[in-house]
Every structure is written in structure tokens, then in C-alpha cells.
Amino acid sequence: MPTDTERIHEIADQEYKYGFYTDVEADSIPPGLDESVVRLISAKKEEPEFLLEWRLKAYQHWLTLSEPKWPNVDYPTIDFQGIVYYSAPKGQGDGPKSLDEVDPELLETYKKLGIPLEEQELLAGVAVDAVFDSVSVATTFKDKLGELGIIFCSFSEAVREHSALIQKYLGSVVPYTDNFYAALNSAVFSDGSFCYIPEGVRCPMELSTYFRINAKNTGQFERTLIIAEKGSHVSYLEGCTAPMRDENQLHAAVVELVTHDDAQIKYSTIQNWYPGDDEGKGGIYNFVTKRGKCLGVNSKISWTQVETGSAITWKYPSVLLLGDNSIGEFYSVALTKKRQQADTGTKMIHVGKNTRSNVVSKGISAGHGQNTYRGLIKIGKGAKGARNYTQCDSMLIGDQCGAHTFPYIEVKNSTAHMEHEASTSKIGEDQMFYCQSRGLSAEDAVSMIVSGFCKEVLKQLPMEFAVEADRLLSVNLEGSVG
Amino acid sequence: MLEVKNLCVKAAGQEILRGVNLSVKAGEVHSIMGPNGSGKSTLAQVLAGRDSYEITAGEVTFQGQDLLELAPEDRARQGVFLAFQYPVEIPGVSNTYFLRASLNAIRKARGEEEISAMDFLGLVREKMALLKMDESLISRPVNEGFSGGEKKRNEVFQMAVLEPCLAIMDETDSGLDIDALKIVAEGVNRLRDENRAFIVVTHYQRLLDHIVPDYVHVLSAGRIIRTGDSGLARELEERGYSWLTEGNSEVVTSGEAV
Ligand SMILES: Nc1ncnc2c1ncn2[C@@H]1O[C@H](COP(=O)(O)OP(=O)(O)OP(=O)(O)O)[C@@H](O)[C@H]1O
Ligand SMILES: [Mg+2]
């Protein structure tokens, strides 16, 4: 009979189920990056002059930066000349028209991933934008949303059709000068999603983007921009997977959110990129900049993330609280197993009066996983009556993994009220034995304990996705134990 | 139903059980008493399958099969239940969710269908009434923030729902108030029938007034040093354990349990 510790190790080592590769003809450019590549990407997308200029400035700025080394993660230096910066399934180069024109091979791929794109089969009430390597291949429910004045389309299409909005908001939350990867993304981004919710409209369905990296040696650099006008509400979800490969692949996305007065954006992520194998070979480097700006009074931005994949995760979805009484939230579950490393957390920057932020982070480490929470709460001079609550819990499964917490606090207004709670627990032999003595298998016991631990975060997700996330957590913890 | 022969157990290199013999037949209630640290919980946990103990000698058969070979969940699925001396908290997992998963795992092993939500609700209601459980306790996370007595009552509630063949109750009475003790005892007595057996670990005669045992065993320094009927418990209540252990290391048996 294996001991609990042995079982826990087996459970921590389970296989990745989305690792298949789709054989589609691709229009790719050779690896490497210089100014001509930036121009080529822009030309392929027939972009307006302002965008090309912006890309070039970003590229010039990127050249002056070096890769950040402060995250608590460890990986070999990335060869930026070895990456392919543009790859699109043939015939999809200029974005989707209608589903009939989408390569059936691609539809099949998404079906296999559990994201059918045919509308009659869709999850009721969810509109999907499917991004395959560098381009968006399909967006569903566009017409229905259009009736309400909601724009939900690929980024490329938005550049063509709504260039005034792009020009106004692109880089307004994450400027290309923000950091190394944001600069790189700004120079070479290929596609992504764009949402615009007009004044007073409550989006009647979940909007979601499903990112898939397929081609080899390809970096995925997408941008998402969501604008919620006065009094509007939207809930948006992104999901991600990639094939299993021995080489590491870079995913450096930028997400910008803007809320005007009384508007709310809820942004949820279920990230399940390929994590690499048991020895840490392969897997996605997920280096992402996500930030929201609560521009208007009483507005609210809420980030929820369930991070189960990637070899390395490096991201801090943040909120800039400018409008008085605005609210920022961050709910996170990060699971690291095998050789996965995650350095994730949030920044809440309080500028307006009576701004509030709420941070709940749950880190789970199994196998040789390393999990770091890094959070900054900054209260500006004018942020009278600002309040923050941070709760940061770590759970260790087995004895070869690690959990680390780096909370940073900067307070420049004495009326601010801050609360911080942190805990680290080991998944107890006691808990395991208790569950097993009630007839539950070791596997079910681990997933039940973990899902209980993550409850506060999972309940923030839209219903269908909460179930999906719960399943994903248990699938990720599942092993050969029966 | 249960045969324990010469069971020797070590924990952290230390001998704790030194040759325990115990024979439990269906329909019987056995009480195990004994000084603190004598090995009562160790015996209970080893029977339920805790793997942090090293079994150095002896054998245990349960319904004709080698119990020690089975994983703890398989023991539970075959009808072994341990009411913990220190019930464990599982934050974020509701008591009903936990119990339903547990009941279904056991039913599945028996080749039965999963219980429907309606039937489960009915069952839970019935057992809650039996144990006078507060409604709020069963929707709260498993044992989290429960008072000592509430945790114990919850163990018996689980037992009542799962209806095990062999229930091992480790100091379920400790921490219960006088009324709760009666309620819990009543819950146990209702389950008593010719197909079920109980091993009741306790320090107090009081519980045995309500759950009258067929046999009382005294465990001391890892051995059963005396076995008697319910009268033995009364005698222990008056005289303590010293008269059994002083200058008398031989195993004394009365009655016919061993
Ligand atoms: N995992 C362990 N490691 C080391 N010693 C242990 C371990 N488990 C039990 N022991 C020791 O074994 C002895 C018996 O413990 P056990 O819990 O079985 O006693 P008990 O009879 O149930 O006592 P009580 O009446 O206080 O509940 C004690 O001395 C205890 O410290
Ligand atoms: Mg004990």
C-alpha cells in the first residue's frame, strides 16, 4: 500500500490533455526581430500609419531595455532572435469573416478543446473570439451583440473598423514604456480581442476569448482592450492552451481595461498553457501585463484568475483606482506542479478618494512547483479614506515544493485603512486520512481539499466557468491513483 | 467480524501496541478503556488504515479478509468507520457535499447507484433529527469553527448517515455536554443490530450507562490486560487502573471475549 506521501507525489504528476498539434498550413515569417519585421507585421495587417509609428517607437524603446530579472523565477536566457513573430493559418491572414469560411480543421481543434464555435453548440450565453497563433479565427454572436451597440471583434478588425477608439485607448493603460515585455508586445502584437460596451448597456452574455498557440517556435503576442462606457457592465473570460513541445514558447500579452463612471468590468482568466514535462522541459513562458484603469467615479474592475498551466507565469493584473469611490478586486488561484514556477499577484494603486481594493490570493504548490505571491498596495496622497484588504494563503502538497510571499505597501495618506492576512498550510496527512476514512480516494481527497481551499476565488467566476475551473484543478491534480 | 491477533505497532520507532488480541462478533459492543497514552487511539487509527504507523507483527481480519492490506478508503467502503478523537477541519468544503461524496463512494463500491439529491436530503433530515443537529452545521464547511462538542456530534451524524458495519468510536463522549451525550448514545443505540458491531473507546463509565457494552477491555501500555463485562467499567470508575497494573504484569482475562 503506497503511503500518503507517495500518493500525493503521484497525484501531482499528471498528464496534460491539450497537448495535441493541429496540422494546418501556416503563413509564417522567418524567426528573428528587427525593424523590418515590425513593418512587415503592420503591412500584413494593412494598418493605419499611426499604428505603425507607435509600433516602431515601442520597438526602439524595447531595444533600450533589458529583460527583468527580479521575479522569483529561474529560466535560461530567451533568444529573442529565435522566435517567429508572426504565424497565421493560411487563408486567415486578414481575420475571420463568417464561420463558414473558417478552416474545418480549426473548428475541429476548438471542438477538441471543448470550445465548439458553431453557434448552435455554444455554451448558451457565451460569445467567443478564437485566437489561433497570431490571429483571430472566429468571433461568435457578433450580430446579436451588435444590436446593442456592443463591439466584440478581433483586434485587427477593430483597427480597421474602429480606429478612432483604438487610437484613443491603445497604450492608455499600459504604455509601451511600461516594461520589457509590454514594449515587445507593442512592437510585434499580431491580434487579440477588442470589446466596447456603450453607455448604459449591460452586456447580456459572457464575452470570451480562447487563445491557442499551435505553431512551433512561435511567440504569441496578443493585445486585449476592453472599454466600458458610463454605467455599462461586462463580464469577460479568457482561456488558453498549447501543444506539448520540448522547446519553451513565449506568450507575452497585454491587456488593457478602462471603466468610465459607474461602469464595471469583470475579467476572468482560466490559464492552462502547456506546463512542460516532469523534468521541466518545454512549456509556455507566460509573461503578461494586465492592467485596468478605473477612470470614472464608482467604477469597478475585478480580476479573477485561475492559473494552472505554463512553465513560468509572471503576471500582476493590476488596477489603477483614479475615480473616487472606485473599486479594484483581484482573486487568484495559482497552481504549480512538476517544475512549474509562478510569480504572480497584483498592484492596487489608490489615487481617488474612498477607493477600495480587495485581494484574495490562493497559491497551491505540488511536486517541485514554486509559487510566489507578489503584491503592491499603493495609497496616494489624495486617496483619502482608501481601504485595502489582502488575504494571501498558500497550500503545499508534498515536501519538495515552495511558497513565497512578498507583500509591498506604500501609504502616503494617513486616513487609509489596510488589512493583511497570510497563511501557509500543508495539505495535511490528517485531512487526507480523514477523507479517505470516509471512503474517498486519495485523488478525490486532494481535489476536494484543494477546491475547498480555493472556494472564495472560484465562486467569483461565472457559473459555467467555476465548474470548469474546479474540474481543471482536479484534472491537474489527478494521477494514476484509483 | 473482526479478529485482531498479536497486533504490534510502532510509531516513530517506539513500540506502542505490544500484542493486542481482540475478537469482535457482529452484534457486539466492545468498550476499550485504559490510561492516557496506552494506545487506544493508535489501535483505532491502525484499524481504520492510518499509514503513519509501522505494523511490526500480528494480523487483522475483517469479514474474512486481511484488513491491513486494504487502503483506508477501501476499508471505509467495506463498512469500517472511525469516529475521530480529534475530528479534522476541511475549510471550504461543505459538510453535506463531503458526506454525499463519501456516501456515494461507499455506494459505488457496493455496486449501488449514486443517491439522488432528493433522497440524500431526506436521509440527512432524518439523521439530523435523530441527533438533534443544528441545521446550520450541516451546510457549514466540514468541522471548521465547530465547537468541540459539535465536532463530536458531527462524527456520529456522519456515522448515522453512512451506517457502517464496524464503527470505532474514539472518545466520542469527551467534550459532549450531558444532554448531547444522551442524544449521541441514543443515536448509537438506534444503529445497534445483529449485523453491526461497535468498538467504543472511552474514559468514562457515564457513556456506558447509555451504551451498555457486551465487553469491556482495559488497554495498558499497549496490551489488553483485562477483559470483563460492563461491571468492569463500574469497578474502574471506583478504583482507577492502578490495582490492575501494580505488581501484576500478567494478562488477566475474565469473560470469554479473547
Ligand atoms: N505518530 C506518533 N509518533 C510518536 N508517538 C506516537 C505517535 N502516535 C502515538 N504516539 C504515542 O503513542 C502512545 C499512545 O498514543 P494514543 O494516542 O494511542 O493513546 P491513547 O490511549 O489514545 O491516549 P488518550 O487516552 O490520551 O487519548 C502515546 O505515548 C503517544 O505519544
Ligand atoms: Mg486517544
pLDDT category at A11 given cuts 50, 70, 90 is: very low
Cβ within 8 Å, pair A436-B72: yes
* pLDDT, tens digit (0-9, with 9 covering 90-100), for B54-74: 999 999 999 999 999 999 999
Q: From residue A128, give the alpha-carbon distance in Å to each of A18, A256, A468.
A: 19, 18, 16
Name the residue of B15, B32, B40, B169 to mutate for ligand 1: max ligand atoms within 8 A of Cβ: B40
Q: Are A235 and A203 in contact (CB under 8 A)?
A: yes
Q: Ligand 1 within 6 A of B52 CB? A: yes
Interface size, chain A vs chain B, as Cβ–Cβ contacts under 8 Å:
86
- The reported pLDDT for the residue numbered A260 is 98
Grid cell digits, residue B199: 468498538
* pLDDT, tens digit (0-9, with 9 covering 90-100), for A89-101: 665 544 445 556 6
pLDDT category at B243 given cuts 50, 70, 90 is: confident
Residue bearing the CA closest to ligand 1, atom 25: B36
Give the number of the atom of ligand 1 that is nearest the alpha carbon of residue B201: 22
Nearest chain A alpha carbon to B91: A452
- A450 class by beta-carbon count within 10 Å (0-12 exposed, 13-18 middle, 19+ buried): buried
Q: Which of B206, B201, B163 is nearest to B182 (CA)?
A: B206
Q: Are A369 and A399 in contact (CB under 8 A)?
A: no
Long-range contacts of A76-81 (CB under 8 A, 24+ apart): A78/A248, A78/A250, A78/A285, A80/A33, A80/A184, A81/A31, A81/A32, A81/A33
Q: Which residue has the higher pLDDT, B175 or A120?
A: B175
What is the rounded CA–CA span in Å between residue A224 and residue B9?
62
Q: Are strands A191-197 and A222-228 parallel, antiparallel or unpaired?
A: parallel
- The reported pLDDT for the residue numbered A345 is 92
For A181, the 3-state DSSP assignment is helix
Q: Are A141 and A119 in contact (CB under 8 A)?
A: yes
pLDDT category at B31 given cuts 50, 70, 90 is: very high
Q: Are A332 and A361 in contact (CB under 8 A)?
A: yes
Q: Ligand 1 within 6 A of B38 CB? A: yes
Q: Does A227 score more than 90 pLDDT?
A: yes
Give the number of the atom of ligand 1 that is nearest the alpha carbon of residue B219: 21
What is the rounded CA–CA span in Å between residue A383 and residue A381?
6
Residue bearing the CA closest to ligand 1, atom 7: B11
Which residue type, as a one-letter code, is found at position B210?
H
Q: Does B23 score more than 80 pLDDT?
A: yes
In total, chain B counts a number of residues equal to 258
Select from B75, B87, B102 the Cβ nearest to the Cβ of A440. Answer: B102
- The reported pLDDT for the residue numbered A8 is 47
How many other CB atoms sit within 10 Å of the CB of residue A82? 13
- A56 class by beta-carbon count within 10 Å (0-12 exposed, 13-18 middle, 19+ buried): middle
Q: Does A143 score more than 60 pLDDT?
A: yes
In total, chain A counts a number of residues equal to 482
pLDDT category at A359 given cuts 50, 70, 90 is: very high
- The reported pLDDT for the residue numbered A210 is 74
Give the number of the atom of ligand 1 that is nearest the alpha carbon of residue B43: 18
Give the number of the atom of ligand 1 that is nearest the alpha carbon of residue B44: 18
Q: Ligand 1 within 6 A of B47 CB? A: no
Query: What percentage of residues in chain B have a pLDDT greater than 70?
Result: 95
What is the rounded CA–CA span in Å between residue A471 and residue A462?
14
Grid cell digits, residue A17: 490533455
Phi then psi for residue A42, to 5 deg, are -65, -40
- The reported pLDDT for the residue numbered A425 is 79
Q: Which of A3, A14, A19, A17 is nearest to A478 (CA)?
A: A14
Q: Does A334 score more than 60 pLDDT?
A: yes
The C-alpha angle B196, B199, B201, rounded to 5 degrees, equals 155
- The reported pLDDT for the residue numbered A225 is 96
Q: What is the mean pLDDT of residues A428-433?
A: 88
Q: Does B225 score more than 50 pLDDT?
A: yes
A80 secondary structure, DSSP code: G
- The reported pLDDT for the residue numbered A1 is 46
Q: Does A121 score more than 60 pLDDT?
A: no
- The reported pLDDT for the residue numbered A366 is 83
Q: Which of A230, A232, A249 is nearest to A241 (CA)?
A: A249
Matching residue, cell 475579467? A267
Cβ within 8 Å, pair A438-B102: yes
Q: Are A235 and A207 in contact (CB under 8 A)?
A: yes
The C-alpha angle B120, B126, B132, rounded to 5 degrees, equals 125
Among A7, A425, A440, pick the best mutation site for testing chain B contact (most B Cβ within 10 A). Answer: A440
Ligand number nearest CA of B14 is 1
Beta strand residue intervals within A140-221, DSSP E: 151-154, 191-197, 206-212
* A60 contact partners, CB below 8 Å, separation of at least 6: none
- The reported pLDDT for the residue numbered A108 is 67
Q: Does A279 score more than 60 pLDDT?
A: yes
Q: What is the mean pLDDT of residues A14-30?
A: 64
Q: Are A436 and B72 in contact (CB under 8 A)?
A: yes
Predicted-complex ipTM score: 0.93
CA dihedral angle for residue B63, residue B65, residue B69, residue B70, rounded to 10 degrees: -40
Matching residue, cell 475615480? A323
Query: What percentage of residues in chain B have a pLDDT greater than 90?
Result: 71
Q: Which of A278-287, B193-202, B237-246 has the highest mean pLDDT?
A: B193-202
Q: Which of A474, A390, A372 is nearest to A70 (CA)?
A: A372
Q: What is the mean pLDDT of residues A180-195?
A: 92
Q: Are B157 and B70 in contact (CB under 8 A)?
A: no
Q: What is the 3-state secondary structure (H, E, C) of chain B?
A: CEEEEEEEEEECCEEEEEEEEEEECCCCEEEEECCCCCCHHHHHHHHHCCCCCEEEEEEEEECCEEHHHCCHHHHHHCCEEEECCCCCCEEEEEHHHHHHHHHHHHHHHCCCCCCCHHHHHHHHHHHHHHCCCCHHHHHCEECCCCCHHHHHHHHHHHHHHHCCCEEEEECCCCCCCHHHHHHHHHHHHHHCCCCCEEEEECCCHHHHHHCCCCEEEEEECCEEEEEECHHHHHHHHHHCCHHHHCCCCCCEECCCCC
- The reported pLDDT for the residue numbered A162 is 95
CA dihedral angle for residue A126, residue A127, residue A129, residue A130, rounded to 10 degrees: 50
* A72 contact partners, CB below 8 Å, separation of at least 6: A341, A343, A370, A372, A374, A404, A406
Q: What is the mean pLDDT of residues A62-84?
A: 85
- The reported pLDDT for the residue numbered A377 is 96
Shortest distance between the Cα of A337 and any Cα of chain B, in A, equals 22
Which residue type, as a one-letter code, is found at position A40?
L
C-alpha of A424 from chain center: 25
Beta strand residue intervals within A133-263, DSSP E: 135-139, 151-154, 191-197, 206-212, 222-228, 233-241, 248-251, 254-259
* pLDDT, tens digit (0-9, with 9 covering 90-100), for B196-215: 999 999 998 888 989 999 99
Q: Are A311 and A339 in contact (CB under 8 A)?
A: yes
Q: Which residue has the higher pLDDT, A108 or B5?
A: B5
* pLDDT, tens digit (0-9, with 9 covering 90-100), for A156-179: 889 999 999 999 999 999 999 999
What helix, strand, coil percent values describe chain A, rounded to 5? Answer: 25, 35, 40
Q: Does B156 score more than 90 pLDDT?
A: yes
For A293, the 3-state DSSP assignment is strand
pLDDT category at A140 given cuts 50, 70, 90 is: low
What is the rounded CA–CA span in Å between residue A272 and residue A310?
7
Query: What percentage of residues in chain A have a pLDDT greater than 90?
Result: 42
Q: Ligand 1 within 6 A of B172 CB? A: no
Q: Does A238 score more than 80 pLDDT?
A: yes
Q: What is the mean pLDDT of residues A284-301?
A: 94
In chain A, residues with a C-beta closer than 8 Å to the C-beta of B81 are: 437
Q: Does A120 score more than 80 pLDDT?
A: no
pLDDT category at A123 given cuts 50, 70, 90 is: very low
Q: What is the mean pLDDT of residues A80-91?
A: 77
Q: What is the mean pLDDT of residues A306-321?
A: 88
A329 CA from centroid of ligand 1 (Å): 47
Q: Which of B173, B197, B196, B171 is nearest to B184 (CA)?
A: B173
Q: What is the mean pLDDT of residues A207-236?
A: 82
- The reported pLDDT for the residue numbered B206 is 87
The C-alpha angle A425, A429, A433, rounded to 5 degrees, equals 135
pLDDT category at B219 given cuts 50, 70, 90 is: very high
Per the prediction, chain A carries an average pLDDT of 82
Cβ within 8 Å, pair B77-A439: yes
B88 CA from centroid of ligand 1 (Å): 17
pLDDT category at A265 given cuts 50, 70, 90 is: very high
In chain B, residues with a C-beta closer than 8 Å to the C-beta of A435 are: 90, 98, 102
- The reported pLDDT for the residue numbered A409 is 92
* pLDDT, tens digit (0-9, with 9 covering 90-100), for A386-404: 999 999 999 888 778 888 8
B106 touches chain A (CB under 8 A): yes
The continuous run of DSSP H or E covering A90 comes out as none
* A355 contact partners, CB below 8 Å, separation of at least 6: A294, A321, A323, A324, A325, A326, A327, A328, A383, A386, A387
* B8 contact partners, CB below 8 Å, separation of at least 6: B15, B17, B18, B19, B20, B55, B56, B57, B58
Matching residue, cell 469553527? B145
How many other CB atoms sit within 10 Å of the CB of residue B230? 17
- The reported pLDDT for the residue numbered A17 is 59
